[in-house]
Structure 1
Amino acid sequence: AKRRIQRYVRKDGKCNVHHGNVRETYRYLTDIFTTLVDLKWRFNLLIFVMVYTVTWLFFGMIWWLIAYMRGDMDHIGDSTWTPCVSNLNGFVSAFLFSIETETTIGYGYRVITDKCPEGIILLLVQSVLGSIVNAFMVGCMFVKISQPKKRAETLVFSTNAVISMRDGKLCLMFRVGDLRNSHIVEASIRAKLIKSKQTKEGEFIPLNQTDINVGYYTGDDRLFLVSPLIISHEINQQSPFWEISKAQLPKEELEIVVILEGMVEAT
C-alpha cells in the first residue's frame, strides 16, 4: 500500500504547520492588536472580560484609597462632612462607582463632589483611559466578528483533479464554484506545486514551492464566479509536470495547493 503523506495544507484551508522553538516571543506583543484578533474565541472573550474587570477593580481601589486617606470613612452619616464621593462607604461602593464612571451609565446614589480636586483629576483620567479601553477592545471584537472565515465553507472545489486533452493540449483541470448568491468581488486564483527538491549543489529543499500557471498571462485567473468554472493548467515545457510521466505520477510525493482570493461582497 502507498504510504500516506501528511498534507501541507488541509482540506479546510488551514496550514498544517506548527511554529515551534520561537525564541523572540516578545514580537507578538509588539503587534498586540493582531495577536488578540488571531486568538481563539474563548481566549478573546476571556481577555475581554478580564480587561474590563481589572480596570474597574483598579480604579475602584483608587477611589476607595482617596476616601480612606481623606477620612471619609470616619464620617459616614455625618451631615456636616463633605466627602469626596457621596454615599461611598466601602470598597464595594467604590467598585460600583468605578463601574458607573467608566461605563458612563450616569450617577445616582453615589456622586462626586466639588470639594475633592484629586477626585476630579481621577475622574478625568478614568474617563480618558476608559474610552481608550473601549476603543481597543470593541475594535478587536469588531474585527474578530467581521472576519469572513466561514465564507470559504460555501466555496466548493471538485473532489478530484483530472489530466486530459482539451483543445488538443494536455491539461490539468479542476472545478470551483460558489454556492452563495452574494459574489466574490475581484476573485483571482493561483496554484502552487509543493514538492521536495534537491539543487545541483546537493542542498535538499523539503517544501519547494513552484507556481502553476492557471491563466496568469491570458487573464483566465480572474474569475467571475456566478456559475462553476473549470480551471485549466496547460502541461507544456514550462509546466512543473512536464517531466513527470503517467506511470511516475502516482509515485510522486507532491501536493497542489489552490489559492482563491477576493473580496466578500457583503463586507
Structure 2
Amino acid sequence: MAVEESKNIPENIPIEIDDIQCEEDNFQDKVSSIIYPDIRRKKKSISYYRPYASPTNRIVMKCGKYNIIKENIPEKTSRYFRDLGNTILSIRWRWILISICLANGIAYLIFTFIWMAMVLWEESYMDLKTEGPCINGTGSFAGYLILVVDTMTTIGTGSITPTDCQNGWIMMTLLALTSVAIEGALVSAVFVKMSRPNTKDCIRQFSKKAVICIRDGDYCVIFRVKDLNGKYWARTSIKAVLIRRKNLKEGDSLPYYFENLKLENTGLLIWPQEVVHRIDKNSPFWKMSKLDMSVLRSVYRFEVMIILEGDSLTTGHPSQSQTSYTNKEILWGHRFSPCVEYDELEQKYIVNKKMFNETVKYEIPECSARELYLAARNESAIARSEDR
C-alpha cells in the first residue's frame, strides 16, 4: 500500500527542511526508547516562544517587527543624529537607560572640573581676602562633585554653598539649564516609550494560526483578533495585505507583490472577534487548493500581513499592532473553537482565553474555490436539464 500511495505523489515536490528535521528527531527518539528501555529520557526543556525569532524567511515576524536590514544608506550616521527624537524612541530600553546614565555622568564630571578650574584660577589671580571664594565648605573633588549633583537634581547644596560671586551664579545657571535639557529630553523619551504598546501584547492580539473553512457556502480565510485592554476600541481598523510572487503578462515577475485583501466588517473588540476574508472571484486565493498551500508551499509561497489600528479609550493614544501568517500557519479544513459563552448563574459573558487559539478539524473539499464553484455550477446545469 505504501508503494502504491507513493506513486500518486507528484515528482519534484520541494520538501521543507524543518519537516525533515522533525521527522529525524521523532525517529531518533523512538530508536533510543527501543534500544535503551530502562534509561529514562531527559525531559526536554520548555521552549518559550521567542518573539524575535523566525524559522522561515518571512518579511514580518510574529511580533510585528520587520525582518529587513537596510544597507548602503548614504550619510547613515548623520541621519540618525538629525532625527534624534525618533532615534531615541526606536532603540531598545537598555540603550535609553545607558544614554541617561552617560549623559548625567558626563555632565557631572564636566561641571565638577569646571568648578575646580575656576577655584584654582581664583586662588592664583584673585584676592580672596577682599572678594572671598565662590564656594564655601569644600576644597576637594568629591565636594565639587556633590555640589554639582545636588544642584542638577535640585536636592539642595547643604553645607557646601556657592557665594554671590559672578562666576558662581553663572555656573549655577548653566547647571540648571543643563539639568532641564537632559531630563526633558531623555526622561520624556522614557515616558513616551512606556506609553507605546508592548511587543508581547502585539503578539497576543492575534491568533497564532489562521484557518480556511466554508462559511455560507464560500471558502473563507479566518483569523482571530482580541483587545481585552481597550487599546484599539475607538476607531478600530483592520487591514490584510497579501505578499506573493506575481507573474506579469510581459514575462517578468514581481517577487514581492503587495495586494490588499477585502475583509468583512467586524464588530467591537469587547471580546475576540473572527476576521473573515471571503474567497470569491476577485480573491487571490480563488485558484489555490490545499495541495498548492500545503505540499507545494515553497512554490506558491505567500505571506498575509495583518495590521490592527485603533485608539485607546483610557489615554486616547493611537496604537498599532501587526503580525503575519505564512503557508504553514494557515490551516486548511479547520475552524476556531468558541471562546465566549454566557453564564446563567453570574449572568455575564465569560471569555475563555485558553480557547483563543484552539481549532477543530472541519471537513471541506481539498480543491480550490474555483473548482468548487465550477462543480456546483455543472451540477445545477445538469439538474436543470433533467427537470426539463
Bin the TM-score by the shorter chain. Answer: 0.7 to 0.9
| Aligned residue among 224, 238, 248 for 2:282 | 238
Return the alpha-carbon distance in structure 2 between the equivalents of residues 105 and 45 of structure 1: 22
Select 1:24's aligned residue among 50, 72, 75: 75
Paired residue secondary structure (1:54) = helix
1:259: how far off?
A: 1.3
1:220-231 paired onto structure 2 within 5 Å: 220-221=265-266, 223-231=267-275
2:339 aligned with 1:263, yes or no?
Answer: no
Residue aligning to 1:8: 59
* Deviation per residue, 1:127-178 (Å, 9 max, x gap): 112111111111011112222214324424152321x332233322223234
Q: Distance in 1 between the 2:133 and 2:246 partners?
A: 77
3-state secondary structure, aligned to 2:185: helix
1:134 alignment counterpart? 183
Structure 2 counterpart of 1:159? 209
For structure 2, the residue ranges without an aligned partner over 5 or more in a row are 1-13, 18-55, 316-388
Q: Map Cα deviations across residues 70-107 of structure 1 (whole Å, 9 max, x no partner).
A: 108999xx987710111231322222111112111112
Q: Which residue of structure 2 aligns with residue 109 of structure 1?
A: 159
Check whether the contact 2:111–2:148 (CA below 8 A) recurs between aligned residues.
yes
1:87 to 130, 133, 137: 137
Corresponding residue of 2:107: 55
Normalising by structure 1, what TM-score? Answer: 0.85
Out of 60, 67, 71, which is 2:119 matched to? 67
Query: Segments of 4+ in structure 1 off by > 4 A?
Result: 72-75, 78-81
Q: CA–CA distance in 2 between the matches of 1:80 and 1:29?
A: 48
Corresponding residue for residue 184 of structure 1: 232
What letter corresponds to residue 213 of structure 1 in structure 2? Answer: K
Corresponding residue number in structure 1 for 2:341: none
Cα distance, 1:181–1:248 mapped onto 2, change above 3 Å: closer
Preserved contact between residue 67 and residue 73 of structure 1 (Cα < 8 Å): no
SS across alignment from 2:194: helix
SS in 1 for 2:104: helix
SS in 2 for 1:157: coil
**Greater shift after overlay, 31-40 or 65-74?**
65-74
- By how many angstroms is 1:181 displaced? 5.4
The 1:137–1:147 alpha-carbon spacing in structure 2 relative to 1, beyond 3 Å, is same
Deviation, 1:16, is 1.8
Residues 180-215 of structure 1: CA distance to partner in whole angstroms, max 9, x if unpaired?
354632322111111122434455432211101103
- Contact 1:66/1:119 (<8 A) preserved: no
Distance 2:84 2:131 in 1: 47
Q: Which protein is bigger by CA-based radius of gyration? A: 2
CA distance in 1 between partners of 2:94 and 2:218 (Å): 52
Structure 1's 44 and 103: CA in aligned 2 closer, same or farther, altered over 3 A?
same
Q: 1:13 to 1:241 in 2, by over 3 A?
A: same
